[in-house]
């Protein structure tokens, strides 16, 4: 990879990657609706609304690989999710095809599988059970990535990202914690590994209390250095501040699953495959 585009550069995860990716990709272009407030003179930034194909194509000029973090990253009204995460993701993949981009790393989400119970360990081959409109949009993005990989030959890695932070702030986040440096390792596999055609990995560190089988990522050389077990004090303290949530505490998606949930624990299904 010579020139790499990072979308969503003004977001929380994007801000971390702005600092971590230049060590590996000297020609890093940033994009978002608006420039980061602390944009440095040496950083290249191109403003782009993902819902506008012309702007997306402009942002992709001369790009070899994309790290697509741009999205509406929480639950929201359907029209908002539609424009940002569905129309925007389509535009990103289609513009990549038109511009001859080689690789796309797509930031999917754990909320694609948020309706699996916490006591069920799952791999990447399970049926998608999204817990929100946001989760539905990320499941769409994974399917779109497969379409562009198999139909047009793009090389695509989808990362079902857990929680990227310096340390988890409650026990659910301790199960899905992703150390920022481990995220960079996953991105580098997606951009550089010669055997990537289309894959899904979980964006998670080697957490002792994790819920996901990430053996596919490990087959590609992923060796995570983080384990939330070393950071549990803050997670336990944060857990005491949360309100009881019987539905959210049952499902892997947490409060994303309990939002708008129509029913009670009697609606909880048997374990899914």
pLDDT along the chain (273 residues), means of 10: 94 96 97 95 96 98 97 95 97 98 98 95 96 98 98 98 97 98 98 98 98 98 97 96 94 96 76 49
Question: Which one from 72, 90, 116, 134 is the annotated catalytic residue?
Answer: 134
Q: Which of 89, 97, 44, 54 is nearest to 71 (CA)?
A: 89
Q: Give burial (CB, 10 Å; 0-12/13-18/19+) of 130.
A: buried
Residues near 237 by Cβ (< 8 Å), separated by ≥ 6?
Answer: none
Q: Is residue 272 part of a domain?
A: no
Q: Is residue 69 part of a domain?
A: yes
Q: What is the pTM of this model?
A: 0.96
Q: Is residue 140 part of a domain?
A: yes
Residues near 196 by Cβ (< 8 Å), separated by ≥ 6?
Answer: 103, 155, 156, 157, 189, 190, 220
- Rounded to 5 degrees, what are φ and ψ at 212? -120, 140
Active site residue 134: yes
Q: Which residues form the domain of 35? A: 3-267
pLDDT of residue 267: 72
What six digits make up the tokens of 221?
Answer: 């050389």
Q: Is residue 217 part of a domain?
A: yes
pLDDT of residue 273: 42
Q: Is residue 104 part of a domain?
A: yes
Q: Is residue 273 part of a domain?
A: no
User: For the domain that residue 89 is a member of, what is the CATH number?
Assistant: 3.40.50.720
pLDDT of residue 219: 98
Q: Which of 175, 252, 159, 251 is nearest to 208 (CA)?
A: 175
Q: What is the Cα–Cα distance from 27 to 45, expressed in whole angstroms?
A: 11
- The number of distinct structural domains making up the chain is 1
pLDDT of residue 178: 98
- Rounded to 5 degrees, what are φ and ψ at 216? -65, -45
């Amino acid at each position: 990879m010579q020139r790499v585009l990072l979308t969503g550069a003004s977001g929380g995860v994007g801000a971390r990657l702005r600092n971590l990716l230049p060590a590996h990709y000297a020609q890093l272009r940033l994009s978002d609706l608006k420039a980061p407030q602390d944009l440095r003179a040496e950083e290249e930034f191109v403003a782009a609304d993902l819902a506008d194909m012309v702007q997306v194509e402009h942002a992709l000029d001369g790009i070899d690989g994309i790290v697509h973090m741009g999205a509406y990253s929480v639950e929201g009204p359907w029209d908002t999710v539609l424009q940002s995460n569905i129309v925007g993701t389509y535009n990103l993949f289609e513009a990549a095809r038109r511009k001859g981009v080689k690789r796309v790393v797509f930031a999917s989400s754990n909320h694609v599988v948020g309706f699996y119970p916490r006591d069920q360990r799952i791999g990447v081959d399970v049926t998608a059970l999204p817990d929100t409109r946001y989760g539905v949009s990320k499941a769409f993005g994974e399917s779109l990535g497969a379409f562009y990989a198999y139909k047009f030959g793009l090389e695509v890695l989808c990362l079902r990202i857990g929680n990227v932070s310096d340390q988890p702030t409650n026990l659910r986040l301790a199960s899905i914690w992703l150390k920022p440096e481990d995220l960079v390792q996953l991105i580098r596999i997606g951009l550089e590994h010669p055997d990537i055609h289309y894959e899904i990995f979980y964006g998670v560190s080697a957490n002792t209390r994790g819920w996901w089988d990430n053996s596919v990522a490990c087959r590609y050389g992923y060796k995570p250095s983080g384990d939330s077990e070393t950071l549990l004090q803050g997670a336990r303290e944060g857990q005491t501040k949360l309100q009881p949530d019987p539905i959210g505490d049952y499902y892997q998606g947490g409060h994303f699953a309990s939002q708008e949930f129509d029913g009670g624990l009697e609606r909880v299904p048997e374990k899914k495959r």
